Every structure is written in structure tokens, then in C-alpha cells.
Amino acid sequence: MAEVRIEGLHKEFRGKPPTVAANNLSLTIGDGEFLVLLGPSGCGKTTTLRCLAGLESPDRGRITIGGTLALDAGRGVDLPPEKRDIGMVFQSYALWPHMTVRRNVEYPLRARKLTRGLQEGWVEDTTKLVEVDGLLDRYPGQLSGGQQQRVALARGLVARPGLVLFDEPLSNLDARLRDQVRSQLHQLHSRLHFTAVFVTHDQTEALSLADRIAIMNKGAIEQLDTAQRVFEEPATEYVAGFMGMTERLPMERRDGHWCLEDGTVVQGVPESLRAGSSIVARVRPQDTYVEPQGTALPGGSAGFVAEVEDVAFAGRFSDVVVRVGARRLQGRTLPGSGQGGLEPGRAACVRFAADRAAFYAPDGQRLAGNPVGGARDGR
């Protein structure tokens, strides 16, 4: 078990223009915590993880793992990977094809000379945990993708390292297997309590595994919070977009009303917002309801009138595309209402609960006075 401290980690790749893969990044991961690094492809997650592993040499920064100084770029300290108390699970699994499953899994014990582990049967224990104990004498080439993944997991965990690093380990699995291995990993963590840093670009994966999530943007951490807080109170518009709040409504204050770009008035925008003359609302499509024109706006909701462009049946409700000015938005009809009496070309009423939306200043920062967490924002 280990607490991990990262201070001012900075890594640039040369090139034209140079890429800043980790931008002055600081982060403390608690002992036994499961931290997820979440962000779109290319934002620097893998690089950050590789710096933790010692596979990449950062330009600046300090890293301590479990009290051991692993990196201090200023003083030229940079422990090689084998001297760090870590385990790592790779996206491509990287199981050595010339070794059996057993040899692969016991490798960390041999490399670290943990004879105790070999004698006490850690290999058998760990492989039993991930349910590959029946495959010990096979070669990686004779395993399915899911089995390979679990062997890779066992190899990362077998030496009981203080810190386990995961680089998108589930992304090569098909959807059903991914769910399975994910919940297995969740159970393993609650049982073994290793400190984990898990890289992914999949928000579902992040939400279900993480104690805390760090959302990364261009090498920097945009928000670091519990899964629930990141989901409900995205700190910036960027995070909101990444957490599924894909519908974007920029508004301006005109004559005491909040108006969209084409002048359409939006009613019910919370008065509590401490905003200037323009704001941006972010909301998820599944929280955006479209109803026939004339429906009354319930309390605590914001709404406006738009033109229906398309209605597609989706089971208990229909997916609706509406247009206001030049802007298209995704919404849906109320559950159980089928087509909801909507027709393309006709006007409709679009509404969302204000506490399901998030409001931002034009620079992307969350406004004080948001309906959710507003008190905290006001600090």
C-alpha cells in the first residue's frame, strides 16, 4: 500500500510544435485509493502514467511512492521502473509469448527475488482471484482476449505492489467482457486495497471504478473529485462535455431576459446565478424533454420554444432533434409518451430541470450560484 505524491510533473515531447503531455501536474493519491485519469485521446493520460512507472523521463517534477522518492528531476533522481514498487497492466496486455501463463505471472516474483511469494503460492492465489488458475500451463497465444486480460491483471497484482497502474486495460475487450472484467476488478480492489491509477477515456468505466476521478485536458488536471461530484457538478464546460452534458446553450442577458443567439427567450434560468451578461448552460440529452407547444413549464425548470426537425422512435420514448436558429439540440419525449404528439416542422416546447443542468461563464468556469452545489461554489 502506498500514498503517491506528484508535484509539478512536466513532460514535453520535442517536435514542431512541441507537445506538452503533462503540464505542471500535481496530485496526491491516498493510500489504497482508486484514482481514475479520464480524458479524451491525446490529453496526456498515458504519459502521466508512464512517468509514474519510470518508463518516461519527465522534464520537471517530483514523485514519491509510499514515502520513497522516485523522481526529483531537479536533483537528477529518477528511479528506473524496476526499483519502484509498482505493478502495471498494459492496454495490449504485453504477455510474453514465449512463457506460459505461470511463468508470466511469477515473473515479477522472480525479478524482485520474492522467494517468499513463490513458496507461499502467491501465483496460485492471484490467478485464482482472477479465475485463470486453470490455465497456468498454457501459452498466451492459446488464450482468448478476456483470459489474456485477466492474466495480465494477475501479473500486475501478484507481487502485491504498493501501486498498480492500468493503461486502458479494458479497451481491447468486447462490451460484455469489458463489464465482466470491470466488476471483477472492482471487487479485487475492495478486497486487496492496493493504490490504483487507472487510465481510461470511457466515462462509464471511470464512474463505476473510481474513488476519485481526475479529468485531464491538454496535460493538466481540469477537475479532481469523487465520481459523483464530477458527474453532477462538472467544474468546467470541458468536463461537462466529457461527462455527457453534450447539449450546449449559450445565452445573453437582454432586457431582463436570458436569450439564445437567435433571440429566443429562455424562461426559468435560476436567479441565484452570479453571472455577467452571458452564460452557457450544459445539459444531457436524456434530461432534455420536448413537449407539444403550450405545455406549462413546471417549477424549477428552464424552457424555450424550438422547431422540431426529426422524431425517431426509441422504445419507451422518442429521440427528438430540435432547431433554434442555427443550433441543433438533442432531446427526447417524456417516458411512456411514444411520439409525444410531435411532428417535424412544428414548434415545440423544450425544457430541462435546472438542477440537472450546469451553468458556466463564457470562459468555461462554473458559475457561483448553480442550483446544484451552489452553496459550495459560493465559497
Partner 1 sequence: MAADLLRNKATGFAMKRIALAGFVALLGVLVLLPLVRIQGLAFANGGQGYLDAFGRAAIWTTIRNTVALAVGSTIVALVFGTLLAWWATQLSPRLQWLRVLPVLPIVIPAVASVSGWAFLLSPRPGYINALLRNLPWWSDLRFGPADIYSLFWIVAITGFALSAFVYLFVSSGLKNINSELLEAARTSGASAFGVFFQITLPLLRPVLVYGGGVALLLGLGQFTAPLLLGTNQGITVLTTDMYFATQNEPVNHAAAAAIGSPLLIFGLIMVFGQKIMLGDQARYITHGGRAFRPAGKPSGLAAAGIFTYFVVTTLAPLVSLGILSLSPFWSANPKWSAMSLDNFRVVFGESVIVGAIWNSVTTSLLAVAIALVIGFIVSVVTLRGRRYPVLRMLMDVIVALPLGVPAVIFGVGFLLAYSTQPLMLYGSRWLIVIVYVTLMLPFTTRMQLSGMMQLGTAYIEASRVCGANYLKTDLWVTLPLMRSTLGGAAALMFVLLTHEFTASVLIRTPRNQVMGTVLFDYWGNGGYPVVAAIALIMTGVTAIGVIMAMLLGGRDALSRM
Ligand X SMILES: Nc1ncnc2c1ncn2[C@@H]1O[C@H](COP(=O)(O)OP(=O)(O)O)[C@@H](O)[C@H]1O
Residues within the interface to partner 1 (CB under 8 A):
53-55, 69, 72, 75-82, 84, 86-88, 90, 92, 94-98, 107-108, 111-112, 155, 159, 165
Of residues 21 and 350, the one with the C-beta less far from partner 1 = 21
SS3 state of residue 65: strand
Q: Does 47 bind Mg ion (CB under 5 A)?
A: no
Q: Restricting to residues 5-64, name those near ligand X by CB under 6 A.
A: 13, 15, 19, 21, 39, 41-47
Residue 81 interacts, among Mg ion, ligand X, partner 1, none and using kind-specific CB cut-offs from 5 to 8 Å, with partner 1
- Listing from the earlier edge strand, what are the strands of the sheet with 212-217? 86-89, 163-167, 195-200, 34-38, 212-217, 220-226
Instruction: Judge contact between 38 and 203, C-beta under 8 A.
Output: yes
Of residues 17 and 97, the one with the C-beta less far from partner 1 = 97
Of residues 45 and 366, the one with the C-beta less far from Mg ion = 45
SS3 state of residue 181: helix
CA within 13 Å, CB half, 76: 0
Residue 76 interacts, among ligand X, partner 1, Mg ion, none and using kind-specific CB cut-offs from 5 to 8 Å, with partner 1
Rounded to whole angstroms, the Cα distance separating 153 from 179 reads 15
Q: Quick one: which segment of 38-46, 65-73, 329-337, 338-346 binds Mg ion (CB under 5 A)?
A: 38-46
Strand partners, 167: 199
Q: Which residue has the cell 433571440?
A: 263
Instruction: Judge contact between 20 and 43, C-beta under 8 A.
Output: no
Of residues 44 and 146, the one with the C-beta less far from ligand X = 44
Of residues 105 and 152, the one with the C-beta less far from ligand X = 152
- CB atoms closer than 10 angstroms to residue 218: 16
In 3D space, the residue among 103, 60, 111 whose CA is nearest the CA of residue 87 turns out to be 111
Q: How far is the CB of 267 from partner 1 (least distance, A)?
A: 54
In 3D space, the residue among 205, 247, 211, 249 whose CA is nearest the CA of residue 227 turns out to be 211
Residue 88 interacts, among Mg ion, ligand X, partner 1, none and using kind-specific CB cut-offs from 5 to 8 Å, with partner 1
- CB atoms closer than 10 angstroms to residue 77: 12
Of residues 44 and 303, the one with the C-beta less far from ligand X = 44
Residues that bind ligand X (CB under 6 A): 13, 15, 19, 21, 39, 41-47
Q: Which residues bind Mg ion (CB under 5 A)?
A: 46
